[in-house]
Amino acid sequence: MVSKAASETLAEAGPPPAAADGKYLDSNVSGAAKILVVGPLGVGKTTLIGTVSEIEPLSTEASMTRAGARVDPYAGDSGKKTTTVALDFGRLTIDGDLVLYLFGTPGQQRFLPAWRDLAKGALGALALVDSRDLAASFDALDNLEDLDLPFAVAVNVFPSGPRYDADDIRTALDLLPGTPLVTCDARDRASSIRALIALVRHLIHVATEPS
Amino acid sequence: MAERPEVPRASAIRPYVITRGRTESEGEPLSWESLVMTAEAAFPASLQPEHLAILKHCEGLISVAEVAAHLGQPPSVAQVLLSDLLRWGLIVTRPPIPPAERADVTMLRKVLHGLESCL
């Protein structure tokens, strides 16, 4: 790996190199695809997106109708109460004419309505799992299964985290035998790209296997 | 892994004031990854400032989600305003890969190949 020392003297750095004149896509780009990066808060979604993205990750607030209306006595009158969820995303131009968007999506069950919109048309999802807290990812995996969105699981390996055996993780997360399980370091570009490759290989497999 | 600085909000106006209460676009809504760009048309002088502001972020090819982020508004607001501009012929769009083509293996292979060439 090339040293990142240069990028660490960041105080006066201004916009990152890729974003300097990279706001707009190349005019050859003819289509866009998207992949969701899902997982609990702090699992490394934004880090992974930033590592892979050709632009500095952008943040936007999606508004959505509040899913918790049934537990909110004040929401019953109009049914129009909305709340917002912060979403980070980045992009990667592929082969010159296709752009891949990566949307970071918070895992909690209450954000499921925001997912429905985003999941529409998504190729699939990379579910990031924190090796120190597997249970925090249960909601995200439930949502993926509810939405019938094909996914791969990437364990973002934190230095302080325990090293589980892959079989133990599969059992803990109740993964289907065909669901890919990889480890990755979200701070490392090649490692993050490899996790996406594992996902896309799986998507090809799902698309080509007789159902 | 440094924390991102807070993105300043571009507007203190509540989002749906800008869209005049509209939360849904007329016609098929643009998806977050739809690509848009200004058309070769002259802008009418009567455009709302919000529409003009959005056009400034569409001078090149860019996604709906990026327009929303640059604008500091939720994508749902950008979707409504961009739909207006699309209907008036002031922007053009390149549609995303439609959901029906999710299982398009040719496209998936292209993504795979593209990712592999990033290594």
Cβ(A93)–Cβ(A33) under 8 Å?
Answer: no
**Beta-carbon separation of A91 and B1 below 8 A:** no
Which residues are CB-contacts of A96 (< 8 A; sequence separation ≥ 6)?
A26, A28, A29
Torsion, Cα of A41, A150, A34, B113 (10° steps): 120
- Find the mean pLDDT for residues A192-202: 98
Cβ(B23)–Cβ(B74) under 8 Å?
Answer: no
Share of chain A above pLDDT 90, in %: 55
Q: What is the pLDDT of residue A15?
A: 37
B52 touches A at CB < 8 Å: no
Contacts B62 to A, Cβ<8 Å: 23-25
Higher-confidence residue: A195 or B15? A195
CATH number at B15-116:
1.10.10
Q: Where are the domains of chain B?
A: 15-116
Contacts A84 to B, Cβ<8 Å: 74
Contacts B18 to A, Cβ<8 Å: none
Does an H or E element contain A11, and which? none
Domain that holds residue A65: 27-70+78-208
Render B80-113 in DSSP notation, one character per residue.
Answer: HHHHHHHHTTSEEEEPPPPGGGTT-HHHHHHHHH
Confidence at A5, pLDDT banded by 50, 70, 90: very low
Report which of B72, B1, B32, B61 is spatially closest to residue A159, judged by C-alpha positions: B1
Structural domains in chain A (count)? 1
- CATH code for the domain of A47: 3.40.50.300
Query: Which of B24, B25, B28, B61 would you mutate first to test chain A, the one with the most A CBs within 10 A?
Result: B61
Q: What is the pLDDT of residue B88?
A: 93
pLDDT digits (tens, 9 = 90+) for A12-38: 333 333 334 689 999 999 889 999 999
Side-chain half-sphere exposure of A15, counting CA atoms within 13 A: 12
Q: What is the pLDDT of residue A187?
A: 95
Q: What is the pLDDT of residue B29?
A: 76
Residue A3: inside a domain: no
Q: What is the pLDDT of residue B67?
A: 96
Does the pLDDT value for residue A72 go beyond 80? Answer: no
Copy the structure tokens of residue A81: 């109460």
Cβ(A160)–Cβ(A72) under 8 Å?
Answer: no
pLDDT digits (tens, 9 = 90+) for A137-190: 999 999 999 999 999 999 998 877 777 789 999 999 999 999 999 999 999 999
- In this prediction the pTM is 0.81
Cα A150 from Cα A145, distance rounded (Å):
8
Q: What is the pLDDT of residue A100?
A: 96
With b for 16 or more beta-carbon neighbours within 10 A and e for fewer, the A85-98 pattern comes to: bebbbbbbbbeeeb
Residue A198: inside a domain: yes
H helical segments located in A42-165: 45-52, 112-119, 138-147
Higher-confidence residue: A54 or B8? A54
Copy the structure tokens of residue A175: 């993964």
Residue type, A183: T
**Burial of residue A129, with CB atoms counted within 10 A of its CB: 0-12 exposed, 13-18 middle, 19 or more buried:** buried
Higher-confidence residue: B40 or A68? B40
Q: What is the pLDDT of residue A186?
A: 95
SS percent in chain B: helix, strand, coil, step 5: 40, 10, 50
Does the pLDDT value for residue A11 go beyond 60? Answer: no
Q: What is the pLDDT of residue A21?
A: 63
pLDDT in tens, chain B (119 residues): 444 444 444 455 555 566 666 655 556 678 899 999 999 888 888 888 999 999 999 999 999 999 999 999 888 899 999 999 999 999 999 866 555 555 588 889 999 999 999 99
Residue A91: inside a domain: yes
Query: Which of B9, B25, B33, B92 would you mutate first to test chain A, the one with the most A CBs within 10 A?
Result: B33
* Cα–Cα distance list, B111 to A13, A54, A57, A180, B20 (Å): 32, 15, 20, 17, 40
DSSP structure class, residue B10: S
Using DSSP's 3-state secondary structure scheme, residue A60 falls into: strand
**Beta-carbon separation of B75 and A60 below 8 A:** yes
Q: What is the pLDDT of residue B74?
A: 86
- Residue whose pair of structure tokens reads 């950008």 in the numeric block: B78
Residue A18: inside a domain: no
Q: Chain A neighbours among B 84-103 (CB < 8 Å)? A: 94-99, 102-103
Does the pLDDT value for residue A193 go beyond 90? Answer: yes
- Find the mean pLDDT for residues A103-115: 79
* Of the partner residues B33, B75, B108, the one whose CB lies closest to the CB of residue A204: B108
